[in-house]
Each structure stands twice: as structure tokens, then as C-alpha cells.
């Protein structure tokens, strides 16, 4: 009953609003536009008809379905649901009965074939201990053989040893002015400078005066640095430094860029 009332009141409300709008246009045409009664009535009626049709189409189209259609459809859906409900309830019950009736497949566990020696290994498990063999005892490492030298310090075609050449003149201490900074010679670092001082060499003029035979002796006796005199050309550098000249390397040392 309520739905039918709503369906009939919607068009009435739309046409009532259209009538108010048409009357408003009629009054507006007479008062402001001065169109006369005929023209004003025509425009007011036109607005009334167009507005009524438009409002009814916009707001009342969805409510024009007949009453029986909705109720019949609802009744049909309810009836269909009533008929299908027992079937849907019965399906899970039947599936449950089928699952409960099916026995679980039996799993047969077969013993694996024993491996060769497995029984003997089980019998000795937990009783075996490691016993060091006499051959496994620690042995002192053999001393590394001294590397063979194949340097010919004086270029005579003979490989020399520590007794090669002639020992240069040495000093027991530096002269009164103090020892020269032998590190200004390229190839002599702090460690090698100390070794030279221990051997009795403190000044550039000592190194500058070495002969080829004396160079060979120093090369052979610089322990850990054999051959450095010839490779780094100590004598040539020492001659320049003894005369007061400088080398590129000595300039870097003086600026503190090396040591």
C-alpha cells in the first residue's frame, strides 16, 4: 500500500512544482517583460508542460514498475531458494558420509637393505678412539736452503760471495761535523742507512771514492740488500752530494716528501 502511494505521489509532486514554475514565468512576463496576457500565458504554459514532463522523467521513471511485478519476482526468488536449500544442505552431508566411509590407504614401510659393513660398524660404535701413529708426530721443519746467488757484482764473469772484492776504508765514528744523511741517496732508507753506519760508512765522500772492487765487496756484504750499490748507483749520487750538488731525489727528501 505504501509503495503504491509513493508511486502516485511522485508525478503529482513533479507537476505541482512545474505549475509553480509556470506561474512564476507568467507573473515575470507580465510584470517585467510587458508581453501581455496572451504571450505571458503561452510562455507560462510552455514552461509548465516542459518542466512537468522533465521532472517526471528524471525523478519518477524508476518508480513506475507495476506492483505485482516486484512482489512476483520476490516470491519467485523465495520459492526457488526454498526448493534449492534442501539440495545444498544435503550435498555436504553426503560428502561427509562418503569421506567417513572411505578407509585411509594403508602405508607399507619396507625395511631398507643393510649396507655392507653396517653390522660391524654398529658393533664398534662408541668404542673407537684415534691413536696417533709414530709417523704422525710433529717433525721440525727443515731449514729452508739459502737462496743461491748469481750476482756478479764487479762484472768479471764470476759469481761472488761475501769475500768478493776489497773492503773500502771505514770509520769507527762520524767526523766532527756529524754523519751525512745517507737517506738522500736513492736506494738507502732508514734501515739501510743504519747498516751502512754499522759497517763504518757515514759520509758521501766515502761512498763517492769507492772503486769497482770496493763496490763489489759492499754489494756482497750488505746483508739483506746485496747488490743495491750497483743497482741504485750509489757512487754516482754520492759524488754529486759530496760536491754540494743536489739530485731530484735528495730535493724530495729535504722537503720531507719521502721519509
Q: What is the pLDDT along the chain (259 residues), one digit of tens a residue?
A: 454 555 567 878 877 887 777 777 777 777 776 667 777 777 777 777 887 787 778 877 754 444 444 444 344 444 433 444 444 444 444 444 444 445 555 556 665 666 666 667 666 666 555 555 555 455 555 555 444 455 666 566 666 565 678 999 999 999 998 999 999 999 999 999 999 999 999 999 999 999 999 999 999 999 899 999 999 999 999 999 999 999 999 999 999 988 8
Would you tell me the crossing angle of helices 36-59 and 2-28 to the nearest 10 degrees? Answer: 150
Maximum pairwise Cα distance, the chain: 148
> What pTM value is reported for the model?
0.42
CA distance 6 to 35: 39
Single out the residue of 227, 211, 228, 229 nearest to residue 151, CA to CA: 227
What b/e readout covers 92-102, taking b as 16+ CB neighbours within 10 angstroms? eeeeeeeeeee
Residue 173 lies in a domain: yes
Residue 81 lies in a domain: yes
Give pLDDT, residue 61.
72
Residue 137 lies in a domain: no
Verify that 3 and 84 share a domain, yes or no. Answer: yes
Verify that 75 and 163 share a domain, yes or no. Answer: no
Residue 125 lies in a domain: no
Q: Which domain holds residue 82?
A: 1-89
Question: In the chain, how many domains are there?
Answer: 2
CA distance 121 to 131: 18
CA distances from 168 to 16, 131, 182, 190 (A): 136, 62, 17, 22
Amino acid at each position: 500500500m505504501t509503495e503504491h502511494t509513493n508511486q502516485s505521489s511522485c508525478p503529482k509532486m513533479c507537476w505541482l512544482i512545474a505549475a509553480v514554475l509556470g506561474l512564476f514565468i507568467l507573473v515575470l512576463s507580465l510584470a517585467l517583460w510587458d508581453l501581455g496576457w496572451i504571450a505571458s500565458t503561452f510562455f507560462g504554459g510552455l514552461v509548465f508542460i516542459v518542466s512537468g514532463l522533465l521532472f517526471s522523467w528524471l525523478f519518477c521513471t524508476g518508480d513506475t514498475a507495476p506492483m505485482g511485478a516486484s512482489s512476483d519476482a520476490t516470491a519467485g526468488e523465495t520459492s526457488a531458494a526454498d526448493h534449492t536449500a534442501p539440495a545444498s544442505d544435503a550435498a555436504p552431508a553426503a560428502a561427509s558420509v562418503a569421506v567417513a566411509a572411505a578407509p585411509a590407504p594403508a602405508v607399507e614401510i619396507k625395511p631398507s637393505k643393510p649396507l655392507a659393513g653396517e653390522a660391524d660398524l654398529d658393533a664398534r660404535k662408541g668404542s673407537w678412539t684415534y691413536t696417533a701413529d709414530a709417523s704422525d708426530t710433529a717433525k721440525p721443519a727443515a731449514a729452508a736452503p739459502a737462496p743461491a746467488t748469481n750476482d756478479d757484482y764487479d762484472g768479471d764473469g764470476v759469481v761472488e760471495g761475501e769475500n768478493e772484492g776489497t773492503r773500502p776504508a771505514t770509520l769507527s765514528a762520524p767526523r766532527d761535523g756529524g754523519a751525512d744523511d745517507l737517506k738522500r741517496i736513492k736506494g738507502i732508507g732508514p734501515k739501510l742507512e743504519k747498516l751502512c753506519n754499522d759497517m763504518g760508512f757515514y759520509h758521501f765522500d766515502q761512498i763517492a771514492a769507492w772503486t769497482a772492487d770496493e763496490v763489489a765487496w759492499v754489494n756482497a756484504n750488505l746483508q739483506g740488500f746485496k747488490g743495491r750499490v750497483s743497482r741504485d748507483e750509489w757512487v754516482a749520487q754520492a759524488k754529486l752530494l759530496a760536491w754540494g750538488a743536489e739530485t731530484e731525489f735528495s730535493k724530495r727528501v729535504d722537503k720531507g716528501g719521502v721519509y
